[in-house]
Every structure is written in structure tokens, then in C-alpha cells.
Chains A and B, each alone.
Chain A
Amino acid sequence: MFESLSEKLSGILDSLTRRGALSEDDVNAALREVRRALLEADVALEVVRSFTDKVRSRAVGAEVIRSVTPGQMVVKIVHDELVAMLGAEGETLDLEAVPPVPVLMVGLQGSGKTTTTAKIARRLSERNKRKVLLASLDTRRPAAMEQLAVLGEQVGVATLPIVPGQSAVQIARRAMEAARFGGYDVVMLDTAGRVTIDEELMEEVAQVKAATNPHEVLLVADALTGQDAVNTARAFDSKVGVTGIVLTRMDGDGRGGAALSMRGVTGKPIKLVGTGEKIDALEEFHPQRVANRILGMGDIVSLVEKA
């Protein structure tokens, strides 16, 4: 991808502008290729559009440094703009509140909520020495509660005892109560997966939020998501007010455009990324790395930086 994008940009630009400032026509020609590359990386169309607008306004008239080609110059501007749009380094979970601090996990079916819940719990208990309670509010998926219980045992974190027949809101209340009684620092509330057009279930998660007043509402989303990422991010954000995003399956070979899409439409930071099925496969988000991945480049940036 690096090869093809930079080659294409070189092909288009380098014959036109050998020196001086980038003209609007030069930039537009380049941006057509950039647009294509972003779409192939699954960046949502509307985000691609606002992104290319930003790049255009930065690139037109930019002086081309003598030692790089105009194509490389544009790629560098694109890269920097991507990093800026993906957000700052080091955004992480905010647990600065009166304990027990509720953390609510939401997302589509199969996105990785339960696994991520356990991963975060492990990190909080091992690294931050917090006393964590896990609760599954998933009353629907077969063996969802057992799944969280098994994971809790694996990471040495307590799970709320399973009481059959309770609603998600009832379980959430019980979890908060148990956490208060038990002197827990953090309560992780895992929820059932839901499609955003399921009004009943979206209302359920809104009620859970109202009942627990979570300090963090984390949207867990699959990094392999396509154009639908914007719908998902918007719908969850408007219904429950997302505070951060966790992107799972970053260990895949997807380009990860969902990161830019979700960040772009919600403005919410990507706080963590999942990089495997294993319980320790949770990492900080590095905008730089994801930007390189989306465009499939890297060398060119350092090339221009050194120039």
C-alpha cells in the first residue's frame, strides 16, 4: 500500500511540480488517490471527505522541500493530519471518582466486550492494585454469564454471583450494592451485544446507565469494521454518551480505518486496543502506528522529517 500510494502520488505529482509551491490541481489529483486509499482502509466516506478537505487546505500552496518529491510531501501532510485526527497519545481510562467506580461496556454483538472487560479488570487489579468486581448484565446470549465468570477466575477478579431471572438493570443495581458493601474500587459492567436499531435493547442500556451513573462508558468495537463504524459509534454515543472507544482485533491484518471513522464522528478518544484472544492482549492506543497502518507507509514520513 505504501508502495502503491506513494508511487501513484509520485506518478501524478512529480511530473507536474518539480519545485515551488503545490498548486490546487496538483493537490486535487493527489487527493483522489488518498481518498481511494482511505476508503480501501475502511475509513468511512464522510470522514474521508472532511479529512481530505483538511489536507487540501494545508497542502495547497505548501512549499515543496527540495530534497523530497511533491508526492512525498503530500503523503507527509496526509500522515500528519491523520495522526492529528486520531487523537493524542496516552489517553487512558479515567477512574478518578468516588469508589466504587462503575465502568460500562457497550457494543455490537461479538465485538469483544466480555473479553475486554476481563482484560481491563486484570490490568486494573494487577497493575493499578484496584479491587475490581465484574458483573455480566447479558441475560440473552447463551452462557454469557458463565463466560465472564470463567474469565474472572482466570484473572483472579471477583464476579457478581449469578442470579437467574433478573433483568440487566436489576443486576446492575445489585452489582453496585455489592461493590459498596464489599469495598470495591471499580465495578465493570459487561452488557449483551445489541444492534443499534433495536430500540428496546438500546433503551435497556440507557436504563443501566441511568441506574449506575458510570464514570466510563466504553464502546467496544471491532477494528475490522467497515463503513458501518460511523453508524455504530454515533448511535451508542447518542444513546449512552460514550466516554471512550476500545478497538479489538487490532491483531488482525485489517487497515483499521474504523479507528479514524469512530474518532472522527464522535470525537471520543480511543483508549485501549485489543490485540489478541489472550487475556493480557490489551495495549495503549498509538495514533502514529494506526496512521501508518491506514496508509500503509512509514518510511516516507521519516524521509520528509529528515529533509
Chain B
Amino acid sequence: SRTSSSIGTGITDLFVRRKLDAAALEDLEDILIQADLGVDTTDRIIKAVSAGRYDKEISADEVKQVLAREVETTLTPVAQPLIIDASHKPFVILMIGVNGAGKTTTIGKLAQKFRAEGRSVMLAAGDTFRAAAIEQLKVWGERTGATVVARPQGSDAAGLAFDALKEAKERGVDVLMIDTAGRLQNKAGLMAELEKIVRVVKKFDAGAPHAALLVLDATTGQNAVNQVEIFARTAGVTGLVMTKLDGTARGGILVSIAAKSGLPVHFIGVGESVDDLEPFSARDFARAIAGLPEEH
């Protein structure tokens, strides 16, 4: 992962040779706060770091190792690949999240990945609201060789999803990904619309959607916790994808989310190109947060 290593630099500066006293812990705490870990998660990690080491001399590297280990421990249970169960034809993936998080782009990247695995892919242009959202998805369809099912802008999204399911089934498509319009989780009307999409999908196939992926933007702060909670309740989120980890944001909120929700994290987005999607690795992510070098 390409998460910024400035946390590591910070720690290196702090713990050349220093007593792990209250002031040092406070500095360490600042560094975690700045990575969006949130106050509670930061407190928990600081406690773990200081346990048995308080007032002892400690090296920068040691602090980083402990920190990485702590974060990794939280993230390991959620680092799970997205498994496409080929017995479902189509395997239905619903892509959801707040506005601009990266849903449509992630669909494009996943389409590429599935195509490379030899699967046939269909995309449903379920964002019938935003200007040129359909055209955007069509470009991704062309890029990746996936069929796109669309209706004119302003059409009913649930109806479109139903049509797409039907068509995917008829054509024997392996994976159907349904794009949806961005919506903030506190908008009851829009969340009800999402519920309706899920309901319609279930009417077609009670086991679908087989995956409901919530896309989170790594620059988001504490609100991401709410996003997870409410989308999970509304649409039965089965897994998470965190995008935009190629910027200066570090995505530390994922640590809190992992601890609270236990939802699997499947992928991270590290750019705008079709190949900028990586499987989520607890170890890499934790090491990046702690500022330790990438392992290969």
C-alpha cells in the first residue's frame, strides 16, 4: 500500500533515544490522531504501546513495530478477499456509498480484474440521477469489455436493477455489478430508495446481492463510522473498499471501523487507472500507518 509514511518520519524524530514518558506518549498520540484513527482507537493503541514499557528507553523502530503490531491485530480479522462463488450465475455485487467516494471507478477496476480472471461481466448503470453517470459507466464498460445495461437518466433505479438481473441471467453472465447513485447516509429518502433496490434484487434471487460493497473515501474523517453503521443496516453491507489511498490521507479511520464493525475489507484504491486496485493487506496497511517500509 502507498499510504504516506510521514507518520513513520514523525515517530523516527520522536524516539531516537527517548524515555517513553507521558510527554512522549502524548506526541505519539498526536501522530495517530493525525492519521484519523480517532480519539478512542488512539487511546487504546497508546495504552497497548505503553504497557510494560512506560518510563523505559525505547527506540524509534521499537515503537513503530509495536504500533504496527497493534494496528495489524485489529485489521487482520477483517482482511478478507472477495470470493466470487461461481455457483451463483450471475454473482451479484451491489456497489454503494456516499457521493464521490469512488463507486463507479471501483466497478471499472473490478470489472477489469474479473475479466482478467476469465469471467464475463455485466454492469448495471443504477445511478440514474447524476449527470453523465451512465456515460461514465459506459466508458468503463468499453475499457474492460463488460456489457452495460442502462436506461435513460431519471429512470427508476430499482427497475433498472431488475432488468439487468434478468438480462444477466438470460445471458449466463458470471458477475453482475450494480452501480448506484451516491447518497449520504443521513438522507432517509435516498436510503429508502437503496432499500428498495435491495428488495427488488432479492425478489429476483433471494440470495442476492451476493456482495454489497460499501466504498469509503480515505480522506473521510470520523463520519465514516456512521457511514458504515447506517449503510450496513440499510443494505446489508458484506464488505468494504477504501479508495484514494494514493493521496496524503492515511485512512486511519479504517482501524476504528474494523474494531467496531468487523466487516471484511476487500480492496484499496490507489489511483484512478484501471489497475489501481489492490487487495487489502492488514500487514501492509498497518506497516504503512506506522511508517515502516514496505515488505516484499
30 pairs of residues in contact across A and B, judged by CB atoms under 8 Å: A36-B39, A39-B39, A42-B222, A109-B100, A110-B101, A110-B102, A112-B100, A140-B272, A142-B108, A143-B138, A143-B139, A147-B136, A149-B132, A154-B131, A195-B247, A197-B4, A222-B219, A224-B217, A224-B221, A226-B221, A227-B35, A227-B36, A228-B248, A228-B250, A232-B219, A249-B98, A252-B98, A252-B223, A253-B223, A277-B181
Instruction: Tell me if B46 counts as interface (CB < 8 A to partner A).
Output: no
Which residues on B sit within 8 Å (CB–CB) of A204? none
Question: Which residues of chain B are near A108, meaning CB under 8 Å?
Answer: 219, 244, 247
Does B48 have its Cβ within 8 Å of any Cβ on chain A? no
Interface residues of B in 165-195 (CB under 8 A from A): 181-182, 184-187
- Per-residue interface assignment for chain A, residues 197 to 233, with 1 indicating a CB less than 8 Å from any chain B CB and 0 otherwise: 1000000000000000000000000101111100110
- Interface 0/1 of A267-279, CB less than 8 Å to B: 0000000000100
Q: A146-B132, A253-B184, A253-B185 are in contact. Are A227 and B99 (CB under 8 A)?
A: no
In the bound complex, residues from chain B placing their C-beta under 8 Å from that of A141 are 136, 272
A-B contact count (CB 8 A): 136
Residue ID in chain A nearest B40 by CB atoms: A40
Interface flags for B120-158 (1: CB within 8 Å of A; 0: not) read 000000000111110110111000000000000100000
CA distance A154 to B132 in the complex (A): 12
Q: Give chain B nearest CB distance to A107 CB in angstroms.
A: 10
B132 touches A197 (CB 8 A): no
B186 to chain A, nearest CB (A): 4
Closest beta carbon of chain A to B159's beta carbon, Å = 20
Chain B residues within 8 Å of A232, by CB: 219, 248
**Identity of the chain B residue whose Cβ is nearest the Cβ of A41 in the assembled complex:** B222
A252 touching B186, Cβ below 8 Å? yes
Is chain B's binding surface mostly helix, strand, loop or mixed?
loop
Q: Which residues of B contact A226 (CB under 8 A)?
A: 36, 219-222, 249, 253
The listed residue (A36, A144, A227, A258) touching B34 by CB distance below 8 A is: A227
Is the C-beta of A17 less than 8 angstroms from some C-beta in chain B?
A: no
A247 to chain B, nearest CB (A): 13
- B39 contacts A40, C-beta separation under 8 Å: yes
Let me know if B246 is at the binding interface, CB within 8 A: yes
With A110-B99, A253-B184 known as contacts, the answer to whether A197 contacts B221 (CB < 8 A) is no
B222 contact from A144, A149, A151, A255, Cβ within 8 A: A255
